[in-house]
Amino acid sequence: MVDNKEASSQGPEAYYFARLSESVFEIQRCAACDRHQFFPRVLCMHCGSEDLSWVAPSGRGTVYSYSVVRRNPEAGGDYNVVLVDLDENVRLMSRVEGVEPGAVRIGQRVQARVAQEDGKGVLVFDVVEESHA
């Protein structure tokens, strides 16, 4: 867990992306109200406190919404854009990999991971198969 003041020398957004490039996914948690937030900020979006820490979330979440972006094959082909609600009660935008773009479904469980693209870390999600024991 990293104190927000340690990360403030470069700003919360720069710190977030620097950590992704190190293959580390972190979000902020407020010590005052015990809530998580995303996108990184200097103050808690819930209570206004400056007492923020960087923590590793579970990375598990649920697809809230999605869209398929259509592209020509020579431009990389189709891909999906998703809004994911993490179990820590934050929503973020990304994409789900490992499935056809149109196979993503609202309510689908996903797991975050950091992929490296062009030397930079990018947060993506993979589908989690739910066991029905």
For the stretch 44-95, pLDDT in tens is 999 999 999 999 999 999 999 999 999 999 998 999 999 999 999 999 999 9
* Domain extent listing, the chain: 2-55, 60-127
What's the pTM?
0.87
Q: Are 109 and 62 in contact (CB under 8 A)?
A: yes
Provide the CATH number for the domain formed by 60-127 in this structure: 2.40.50
Per-residue pLDDT tens over the stretch 96-120 = 999 998 899 999 999 999 999 998 9
> How many helices (H) does the chain have, and how many strands (E)?
2, 10
| Strand order, beta sheet including 36-37 | 2-3, 52-55, 27-30, 36-37
pLDDT at 129: 82
What is the rounded (10 degree) CA torsion for 16, 18, 22, 25? Answer: 10
Contact 23, 124 (CB under 8 A): no
